[in-house]
Amino acid sequence: MRGQRQHTHGTDPPDSGPESGWTGSSSGAPQPPRRWLDRYQRRLWIGGVSLIVIAALVAPVMWGACGAPNLTARPATVAAPASMPTSVFITATEFEFSPNSIQVQAGQKVSLTLQNTGGVEHDVTIPSLGFSLLARAGQTVTGEFGSDKPGVVDFFCAVPGHRDAGMKGTLTVVD
């Protein structure tokens, strides 16, 4: 068969093993065919490890985005006498606050706890009260604010793009 190569799939010349020292030559001698696994083994390893790394990085974000149940949810407000501070607990994920509507008493100091269960940093910013609280991924932080004026004010995540993605809510200060 002139002009065609003869393939011997999976077989090596008798003296081409590693112990023979044969590494192929550039003298025009035909090289033995290599099995597909030998040819692509390194690429398969790199691809497999890459998939595992990507899955490990994306899984927490997808878990939060798919609405995983928040097993640590706490009430948004706790009724307290006028002399005691009100405590508010907000959970931040990609890209929402829970709860996104809270109510507090006017004239009281409010202790706000932000638990970030997301994969990136989030904050709670209440511009009309000059209040901002930042939590890195997996972090829980607490800060205090107060308002003497009843009304409805907005709060949101000031990390670029997060407010537009839905991380916003309302704070109602009642008399």
At 31 the pLDDT is 74
The per-residue pLDDT for range 106-125, each reduced to its tens digit, is 999 999 999 999 999 999 99
Q: Note the pLDDT of residue 123.
A: 96
pLDDT digits (tens, 9 = 90+) for 46-55: 988 898 988 8
For residue 137, is pLDDT > 90? Answer: yes
The rounded distance, in Å, linking the Cα atoms of 53 and 57 is 6
Give pLDDT tens digits for 83-101: 445 899 999 999 999 999 9
pLDDT interval class at 71 (50, 70, 90): very low
Residues 6+ apart with CB under 8 A from 145: 109, 110, 112, 126, 129, 130, 131
Is the peptide bond preceding residue 95 cis, with omega within 30 degrees of 0? Answer: yes
Bridge partner list, 91: 98, 115
What pTM, to 2 d.p., does this model score? 0.53
